[in-house]
Homo-oligomer: A and B are copies of this chain.
């Protein structure tokens, strides 16, 4: 019974992620920890991203910063999807305004053999300690989210050696050296599983698998070269009983396939209308699914009335139905005006409560009419 085990179980995020009704729609933002807050920038004057992740107190502090400033319903751990790989000894750096850079890209079986299984309490001890601190310090009704990079997105960094727009080397390997691809993806799926399992053991109430770049693949390539590994991860974690968010961007063509992979909440980017996409993923999965999303992060740069209009559109499409977690369609952009971020949190809470009221009034009016 995860509801007894988890201190955050009673809160709006976990209720919504499990398809239960809530008084308001819960909200959190990908990249809410780090990137935009002035108090975070101050921390970054002293330490790099990777340094912060090796200092549990600082990592917990950065994770909690947005929680103090705003009534967000979930805290996502500060970190980077490359952390578990650094943990198993991959020499890498997170370069400012570039992204992950790998010293020795992996393109053959010998390279894959250098990747070993993750032993979380040794390899990523500070991250897990930070999870424990955050879970202890945060009010029980606010959830703590652990996250991991999905095999395809991690593989793309390892193979290319740096961020890419075209994934040419990754796809060439995938199509031309299927044995190397299978070995690499199998290993990355195990590492992601081991990392997320340890996050939950340390106190994370839910997990999110980030396959940020998987939208670069065709449907056929997703089904053949990615889906088997993603399915293993969710199958391995299912027994933990925590909500599992499956997230990607540019996935309009992949949603039907992804919906069958075992995640319990589908992350939706802003490109797809939330109502249509929700129906699509549930039809494809043949079971109820939660959805998370899907305001365009770029919309937060518009004047506040336009921001509210866009956020309201997302809420109206969700129509107060249990199972919706409000979020952006991708991470907060670094230069996002802070006042708009803060306004969206309040707006989602207020407007979603109001819409639920309207819905109840309509239902009773109908009952009276009958």
Contact = CB atoms under 8 A, between A and B. Distances in A.
Given A220-B313, A313-B220, A303 B271 contact: no
Interface in A211-238: 215-221
Contacts of A216: 271
Nearest to A317: B220
Contacts of A298: 166-168, 170-172
Interface in A160-178: 166-172, 175-176
A325 to B, nearest CB: 19
Contacts of A170: 298
A347 interface: no
Contacts of A302: 171-172, 175-176
A218 B271 contact: yes
Q: What are the 9 tightest A-B residue pairs by CB atom distance, in nearest-first order?
A: A252-B253, A172-B301, A171-B298, A176-B302, A175-B302, A252-B252, A168-B298, A175-B306, A176-B303
B217 A299 contact: no
Nearest to A331: B166
Interface string A165-198: 0111111100110000000000000000000000
A219 B273 contact: yes
Given A166-B298, A298-B166, A270 B218 contact: yes
A335 interface: yes
A123 interface: no
Among A176, A220, A253, A273, the most chain B Cβ lie within 10 Å of the Cβ of: A253
A261 interface: no
A197 B272 CA distance: 34
Nearest to A253: B252
A176 B303 CA distance: 6
Interface string A284-324: 00000000000011110111001001100100000000000
A7 interface: no
B301 A272 contact: no
A271 B217 contact: yes
Interface residues of A, number: 36
A250 interface: yes
13 contacts: A166-B297, A168-B297, A168-B298, A168-B333, A170-B298, A171-B302, A175-B310, A176-B302, A215-B250, A218-B272, A219-B271, A252-B253, A253-B271
Given A168-B333, A253-B271, A333-B168, A299 B175 contact: yes
A280 to B, nearest CB: 11
When all copies of this chain in the complex are counted, the total is: 2
A75 to B, nearest CB: 24
A307 to B, nearest CB: 8
Contacts of A335: 168
Nearest to A270: B218
Nearest to A165: B165
Contacts of A333: 166, 168
A166 B313 CA distance: 21
Nearest to A249: B250
Contacts of A215: 250, 271
A215 B271 CA distance: 8
Contacts of A219: 271-273
A301 B271 contact: no
Given A219-B272, A270-B218, A333-B166, A296 B250 contact: no
A74 to B, nearest CB: 23
Nearest to A294: B218
